[in-house]
Structure 1
Amino acid sequence: MPSIPLPFVISLLLCLILFRTMRQAEHRLGLFPLLIATFAAQAMLSGLNWNLGWYPARLIQPVVAAILPALCFAAFNQLRRDRLATSNDILPHLLPVILVAILVTLWRAPIDIVLFATYLGYGLALLKIAKEGPDALSSVRIADEWTAHKALVAVAVMLVVTSFIDAIVAVDFFLGKGEQGRMVLTIASVLWLAIAGYAATVADKARPADEGNALSEDFDHSSSAQQVPSDAMEDKAIANHIDTLMREQHLYRDPDLTLQRLARRSGIPARQISGALNRTFGRNVSQVVNEYRVSDAKQRLVTTRDQITTIMLESGFGTKSNFNREFLRVTGMTPSRYRSSGGESSAASGLPKEASIR
């Protein structure tokens, strides 16, 4: 019974993921869906080249391979901004692609060196972004920052690892027939495409669908969108200002809240908010915001008979796993146990006592 080569299976799975992603995004072709589509195309080309020996795939595959690291960087880099990437953001990253396309037609020898430098360079660039922590992805839902950050690290590591695998395979082809290199390259390519495709899907879901249009909405409908002289503000003053917004406007109840949205509502740059909250509380923005949500949930658990799922959603949590994890971190017990024990004698809204700045 004939079997389907693994690269074709991976390509089919990525196409299904792409279809579902675009369906959920109302067929809006952003960078992450485009990245998944490129992964699928590269998996297909890998199968046509290594499994079927289709010669044209050997000409196209290096060009598509050069697109992947640049597209990975552009896609994840847009998660640091309050807008989607534009053509001007992407065009400079096409230089390695153009160079590889020229080398394919004129001089194939240096292609491996160019691809090695491209993958290693973009991998290190993404690791540099990852080093800034989850708060660097300021356009991602605060509840999903850690997940998106892990996806970023996974793609960055795979880019670096791939650069060295390709270099080893190139040496194997140069010294021998490349039989071992062919097997290693096939396995590594399939693994890379599967991990990167999954990571791209996770990161794409972490950004609110309307985040690119949120700027005008926040300023038009928020009375607190006045600009605050953040350059002269100390950490405690910034933390107090964020605390006031949280207590008075309950911004934490928005499940799509991002650091960029919080920055627009407060009139303070996202990086400055992140630094101030980290230095004031010793925790990142995601943890601080979730503490407001947990405090809200604590009050509802002991003062209402609402279902825990309802309380979870109305407090701003989007998933049950995140709610249970953060509730356990803050209180040391599960929501159901907290309710059955009667909770505290009084639950104040806003930050819990251990995180209070007042």
Structure 2
Amino acid sequence: MMPAIPLPFVIALLLTILLFRLIRQNEAALRPALVFTAACIVLVIIGGLRWTFDIRFIRFIQPIMASTLPVIAWFCFVGAPSSLRARHWLHLAPVVVITIFSATWSLWRPPIDLLLAGLYFGYGAALIRRASRGPDVLPSTRFSDASQALKATGIAGCTLIISAVSDVLIAGDFDVYQGAHAATIVAVVQLLLLPVIVYGVVAFGRSIPAGEGESISHAGESVSVPPEEVADNLVESVPQPAIEPLTPPEASSEPDQDDQQVIQRIDQIMRQHHLFRDPDLNLNRLARRAGIPSRQISGAINRVYGRNVSQVVNEYRIEEAKRLLQETDLPVTSIFLEAGFQTKSNFNREFQRVANMTPSDYRRSVASGE
């Protein structure tokens, strides 16, 4: 009879297969996902060794490795720091505290599980709060993938919070049942949650255009400025017809003169260079082309239009799509790609939001003169 393989090692094997697939793709935007997946593999293996062989050194290292996971997840969604500043080092503080507590556990039994629960809950709540603030806090993600990136961020936050609940359950199990069910709780949580959060990290990475420089966002503003992209230059070099102006905005708050100047600059580069046709366009690229900080663009558009940057850019794309539907016989599949969308579902959803009808209905209404 073949010996049974402990569940944690099966999970580690599956994550290792995923890691090698990510390595083979060799995409710079997926490097944070590589680091996070590798960290998950190490954590799962350590957990398997802890509950299978109960080695003293493994008991010491397991909580330390567990404390690094939410920190790595945070930087996967926020961005790797381009410079080591004081606020970046603060993320290492919980790891240092857990290390000290783990090293001195035999002396005074510090509540490590509860501390880990608080750490996971804090980072999970921070990711959920970040997702709730809208796509403008994700300046590196494509506008067309903003919704998916926000969902991935929210999923990761929820997963960390559920992990925090499991840490509380483990602490309670040790208090009441001397840890009799701890191994089962850990295995089930890892089986259910690790693939979900890894999926979220990978999905977020895929929303970042290839060649996008590393940057970190603070309050929605990009800190580093990579070189101009070739795709941007190609869009600018091809003569394009002018699009119709957007519908008159309704101010969400009192815009000032600086806001109007930002709006005029964004409108100018959209009309003259048709930047919205770049499918990889994101807030960072728009900020570089406009020569205006991303946070200033986001604030001005929100105050003047009452919408986020992604929605306004998509409105330029929809106006172009309406022009193509009216003046050409191109199929809808070709039109949404020409307008800068990457998926038909996103195109249909945004077209319905802006025009209150489907692309096909719009073409029929134009043809019938309605």
What is the TM-score with the length of structure 2 in the denominator? 0.78
Deviation at 1:9, TM superposition (A): 3.9
Q: Which residue in 1 is equivalent to 2:81?
A: 85
Q: 1:293 aligns with which of 307, 311, 317?
A: 317
Q: Indicate the larger mover: 27-36 or 249-258.
A: 27-36
Q: Indicate the larger mover: 292-301 or 110-119.
A: 110-119
Aligned length: 333
Q: State the distance in 2 between where 1:146 and 1:26 align.
A: 21
Residues 100-139 of structure 1 aligned to structure 2 (within 5 Å): 100-107=98-105, 109-110=109-110, 111-139=112-140
Aligned letter for 1:136?
Answer: V
**C-alpha offsets along residues 259-313 of structure 1, whole Å, 9 cap, x if unaligned?**
1111121122212211222222222111111111111112112322333322222
Q: State the distance in 1 between where 2:27 and 2:154 align.
A: 28
Change (3 A) 1:275 1:93: same
Change (3 A) 1:54 1:177: closer
Q: State the distance in 2 between where 1:221 and 1:303 align.
A: 26
| Partner-residue secondary structure (3-state), 1:185 | helix
| Partner-residue secondary structure (3-state), 1:30 | helix
1:14 and 1:40 in contact (8 A); partners too:
yes
Q: State the distance in 2 between where 1:7 and 1:182 align.
A: 10
1:218 and 1:264 in contact (8 A); partners too:
no
Deviation at 1:329, TM superposition (A): 2.0
Q: Which residue in 1 is equivalent to 2:296?
A: 272
Q: 1:217 aligns with which of 228, 231, 239?
A: 228
1:22 and 1:28 in contact (8 A); partners too:
no
Deviation at 1:31, TM superposition (A): 2.1
Q: Indicate the larger mover: 35-44 or 315-324.
A: 35-44
Q: State the distance in 2 between where 1:310 and 1:17 align.
A: 34
Q: Which residue in 2 is equivalent to 1:174?
A: 175
Aligned letter for 1:37?
Answer: A
Deviation at 1:73, TM superposition (A): 1.3
Q: Which residue in 1 is equivalent to 2:187?
A: 186
1:48 and 1:57 in contact (8 A); partners too:
yes
Change (3 A) 1:72 1:297: same
1:150 aligns with 2:174: no
Deviation at 1:41, TM superposition (A): 2.6
Q: Which residue in 2 is equivalent to 1:350?
A: none
Deviation at 1:140, TM superposition (A): 0.9
Q: 1:253 aligns with which of 264, 277, 281?
A: 277
Identity of aligned residues (%): 43
Aligned letter for 2:324?
Answer: R
Change (3 A) 1:114 1:343: farther
1:334 aligns with 2:335: no
**C-alpha offsets along residues 145-201 of structure 1, whole Å, 9 cap, x if unaligned?**
121111112222222332232123212202223334443333223222121111001
Deviation at 1:344, TM superposition (A): 8.7
Aligned letter for 1:320?
Answer: K
Aligned letter for 2:164?
Answer: S
Q: Which residue in 2 is equivalent to 1:228?
A: none
1:283 aligns with 2:307: yes
Aligned letter for 1:97?
Answer: V
Aligned letter for 2:33?
Answer: F
Q: 1:236 aligns with which of 240, 244, 260?
A: 260
Q: State the distance in 1 between where 2:158 and 2:207 align.
A: 20
Aligned letter for 2:165?
Answer: F
Q: State the distance in 2 between where 1:323 and 1:28 align.
A: 24
Unaligned runs of 5+ in 2: 215-224, 237-254
| Partner-residue secondary structure (3-state), 1:326 | helix
Q: State the distance in 2 between where 1:248 and 1:77 align.
A: 32
Indicate the RMSD between aligned Cα atoms, in angstroms. Answer: 3.1
Unaligned runs of 5+ in 1: 79-83, 225-230, 347-358
What is the TM-score with the length of structure 1 in the denominator? 0.81
Change (3 A) 1:130 1:305: same
Q: State the distance in 2 between where 1:344 and 1:116 align.
A: 62
Aligned letter for 1:304?
Answer: T
Deviation at 1:215, TM superposition (A): 2.8
| Partner-residue secondary structure (3-state), 2:185 | helix
2:30 and 2:206 in contact (8 A); partners too:
no
